[in-house]
Amino acid sequence: MHQLTHSMADAAPPDAAFLEGLEIFARYVRDNGSRALAPSGRLENEVDRLAARTPGCSVIVARPDRQLVARLEEFTAGR
């Protein structure tokens, strides 16, 4: 589960297209199941590290990052 770390009061609410897509996804997972794993703490820490490199920017990874690749490989190896 991801932790909410800032207020969403100033953000626009999800639009109808987003909610419809979310409903389609939820229906698919309900009908077909999911073998997805929850992100590991190390993978979440990696995303936080990359986000901290460029505060105020919506792009987390502007170029390939070896440390991110290592965490993703580690995460997918557990499947």
Q: What mean pLDDT value characterizes the chain?
A: 76
Count how many domains the chain has: 1
What pTM did the predictor assign?
0.40
Q: What is the pLDDT of residue 1?
A: 41
Establish if 73 belongs to a structural domain.
Answer: yes
The pLDDT value given to residue 74: 82
Whether 67 is in a domain gets the answer yes
Place of tokens 């190896």: 77
Query: For residue 48, what are the domain limits?
Result: 40-79
What DSSP string describes 54-70? STT-S-S-SS--HHHHH
Residue 9's pLDDT band, with cuts at 50, 70 and 90, is low
Position 76 in a domain: yes
Q: How far is it, in rounded angstroms, from Cα 52 to Cα 58? A: 11
Let me know if residue 22 belongs to a domain: no
> Is residue 11, in this structure, part of any structural domain at all?
no
Q: Residue 43: its pLDDT value, please?
A: 81
Q: What is the pLDDT of residues 41-74, one digit of tens each?
A: 888 888 788 778 777 776 666 677 788 888 888 8
55: DSSP letter: T
